[in-house]
Structure formats: structure tokens, C-alpha cells
Amino acid sequence: MSNTEYDYDVIVIGAGPAGYFAAVRCAQLGLNTACIDKSIDPQLEQCLGGAYVNSGCISAIALLESAQLFNKIKSTSIHHGIIAKELSIDVTRMQQRKDEIIRSLNQQIAQIFADNHVSSISAQATLINPHRVEITPPNGGIPQVITADKVILAAGSTSSKLAITKIDHHFIISAKDALSLAKVPKKLGIIGAGVIGLELACIWNHLGAEVILLEAQNSFMNVADHEIASEAYTLYQQQGLDIRLGARVISTEIKNDQVLVSYQDTEGTHHCEFDQLIVAPGRKPNTEMLSASSADLLFDEEGFVHVDENCCTSLPGVYAIGDLTLSGPMLAHKGIEEGIFAAEHIVGQHSPINYHTIPNVIYTQPEIAWVGQTEQALRAIGEPIKISQFPFSNNTRAKITGQTEGRVKMIIHAETEVILGVHIIGAMASELIAEAVLAMEFSATAEDLARTIHAHPTHSESLHECALSLNSRSLHSPL
């Protein structure tokens, strides 16, 4: 570290997953660390955890858990001999449960900061130069400047905007608003059938809303393996989701307490009416107030911070991690690993991140998860591959739980049998993918996985069976 007198060794801007992990790891390494975040609750108390904890993924998963429980009791309890009469929902209590989980996580992060002697500062932070950060209290006040030898930028991302529609937070709402609804809308429209749109659609569809998604792209879930995406599309439609592809919204209007939406597709112009409309076109890096023009921080044309392979920006001693960069997908666990990496890089430790084994998860019903390459990507480059698939309908534990939708798909190199990609759609996909990530991290072959003993009966046996199937040795797949 420098011999110059600074207020801190490291300042971290942002207390989302990337930021708070970076701050804690810095402190563990003996660095005097401050973490600055502007998020506050209605009582002006600091909310640590960023949008991810307070208004994003955690909220969505908490509500989806409630929605799935209601839907499962309503649709499958009779098969268990359980008679549930006059079943109803209390959305207010669901929201209270979600809020209790968020408060618990806020308190947990605050306690971790305290235990590790991280200085938590509630303020809007702006980088002035590589060693100076201006902080402004969230409720106004006189800006101050604090200094550090190193700065880690982890300000996260925010929802993108659409020029053709204006959010009023009542009829036309954001994804954040959609996680705090007080009642179930009868008819709900969603602009965007990406990850965020789909997760919101599943929540409110399970709770009884009629949901229509308007997706401008002509194909569904381009980022996923096309075969898995196709099955997901079919399953979502069977659940009642109306997904309209190639639907480009051209206007929105609020009239008589309804949202009127016009969109175009290959068949012409169409009109829909909704009780509420969610705008969920995706996310953009939160860089508008991140640095002063005098700092001369380098951004790309989309507003992402330019970094090298070590998360270093164009400014000496300044790092950028998480959703601020294009170094990997906008995922919490990607940001977490970059936060740890940046902290360790500051003290001279170097443990490169393997971006090829970052798992992707979509928290819908059923869940979708994958790691590695898709079939279409591998075929496009002419890679010799072998593919096997195992349906959950042939898995004993899935039969017991009644969650037999979906499958595991495994792709290996045809000559070396090294695993190149694993794609799962089905119950607990987010948990099952960890085994595939570990296998790929150690360059395992399908034979390695086939010779690994799995407990019976478990969902994880589906990965085992998939590996066995590559050499026609599956024991649970009918011919």
C-alpha cells in the first residue's frame, strides 16, 4: 500500500453483493475499508445489499416461494389425500414475509460489516479522482470528500427505460413496483420476456392473474440452450402464460383505469387492455452519477465501465466489478467473485475467475439453470460433440414429489468426453447445477460423473443418469 496519508486503504462504492463481499474481503485482508451506499428505507435507515436484496432477486424468489406453495396446494394437494377447502391468499401477509426476509438480510450484512470493522457510510458517492470520493448524505446536506489508496466501483445496475412508455408507478409500473403489489391484478401485461419478465410473470400467474408477455424478439430466451428454451416455452404456456414473440410495443395509454397497449408483429397492429402493465426490458449499469467528468473514467457506448482482465479501470488503483462491467453476465454470484478477486488483487494475491463456469439461473417454475456452452454455440464452431438427455419423468424422487417436468441435458466433447455444458430445466435446477459447475471446474469427463456414487432416490441422480446415457448405460431410461 502507499505511504501517503489517506482516510482509508480502500473505499468501496456500492453495497450490493459485489460491493459488500469486496468490502468484507478487504477488511479480512487487513485493509482499513469503507463501503458507501445510498439506499435507504422510508425511515431513512440504510438498506445494505443493493437492489439485489432490497428490490430485486431476493424479493422475487421470496414471493415466488409463496406463489408456488399456493399453486401447489390448489392443484396437487388432492393427490396427496389433503383436502383444502376455501383456499385463499393474503397478498399483504406475503409482502410482509418478503419484507421480513429483506430486513433480516439487511441486519445480517450490517452485523458482518461491524464484525469485520468495515465503515458503512450512507451517502451518494461520486469518484472525483483515483483517490478522492465525494459523498453526499441521502437526505441532502453538505458534500464531503474522503480519500483512499484504492477504490472499488460496485454501484450495480438499474432498470432500463423505454421511450414509448412512461412509468407512473400505479398503472404502468417498474419491475421493482411489481414486487410490492398490494393485490393480484386480474389482467397483467409485461413488456419483456427476459429473465425479469418471466420471473414476475410466474409469481402473479400462480396467484391467479391472467398474464400476457410482449417480447420484441422473434425467438424465446436466446441466451439459453435452444432445446431447453423450447421446452420452457411449452411449459410456461401450459401454465397459462401468454407469451407473444415478435411483439414490438408502439404505444401505451392510460384510460378509464386501464392501460391500453398497441403492438405490432408480422400480422399487423394489435391492441390489449390491462389492469396494470409491467415494464421489464432489462437492466443497465448504474453509472450516471458514478464519477465526475474530471475523473476521466473510461466507459463504453452503453455506459459500462471499461476494465482489463484484473477488473482494473482506466484509472490507476480504481477497480470496477459486478453489473458495471461487461466481463461476464449480470449475476450476483459473478459480482461476488469479482469483489473477492479485486480485494485479493489489491494485496498482491491473484486467483483468476473462470468465467466459463459461471452458472446461470432463472427462478421460474420450473427453474432453469445452465453452465458452459449451449448446443447451438458448439455446433456453430464445428466442435465435435455428444449429447445425452435424461427426463425428470424417469427420476424416482421427481415422481415422489410430483415435479416431473423438464430434463437434464449434458454436452461433452466427442473425443475427450470432457463436459462442455450442462443445461437443466426442472425442480431444483438452481441447486443441481452446482454439481455440474464443480465437475467442469475440475475438467471432469462424463465418465468421472458416471462413476460418482449418487444417493438414491434423489433429483441429483438425473445428472448421473445423463452421464451414463452417453455410453448407453442408463439404468432408468426405457429404450
Other residues' Cβ atoms within 10 Å of the Cβ of residue 55:
21
Give one DSSP letter per residue of 279-340, joined into a string.
E---EEE--TTTB-GGG---B-TTSPBP--TTSB-SSTTEEE-GGGSSSS-S-HHHHHHHHH
CA distance 8 to 68: 46
**Cα-based angle 92, 69, 227 (whole degrees, multiple of 5):** 120
Count of beta carbons in the 10 Å neighbourhood of residue 50: 29
CB 159 within 8 A of CB 322: no
- Does 206 participate in catalysis according to the annotation? no
Residues 286 and 323 sit within 8 Å (Cβ to Cβ): yes
d(CA 398, CA 461): 10
What lies within 8 Å, CB to CB, of 471 at 6+ separation is: 446, 447, 450
| Residue 419 to residue 367: CA distance in whole angstroms | 22
Specify the DSSP element, H or E, that contains 380.
helix 375-380
Nearest to 189 by CA among 206, 166, 205, 207: 205
Peptide bond before 137: cis, by omega within 30 degrees of 0? no
Strand order across the 407-413 sheet: 360-362, 367-372, 419-426, 407-413, 385-391
Cα separation, 16 vs 112, whole angstroms:
14
Closest CA to 19 of 361, 345, 308, 332: 332
The answer to whether the beta carbons of residues 436 and 446 sit under 8 Å apart is: no
CA distances to 82, 97, 134 from 168, rounded to whole Å, are: 43, 26, 32
Cell of 454: 449418487
Q: Please identify which of the residues 456, 459, 464, 476 carries the catalytic annotation.
A: 456
Q: From CA 345, how far away is CA 361, in angstroms rounded? A: 28
Rounded to an integer, what distance in angstroms lies between the CA atom of residue 160 and that of residue 138?
A: 23
**Could you write out the DSSP letters of every residue in 106-151?**
HHHHHHHHHHTTPEEEESEEEEEETTEEEEE-TT----EEEEEEEE
By annotation, the residues acting in catalysis are 456
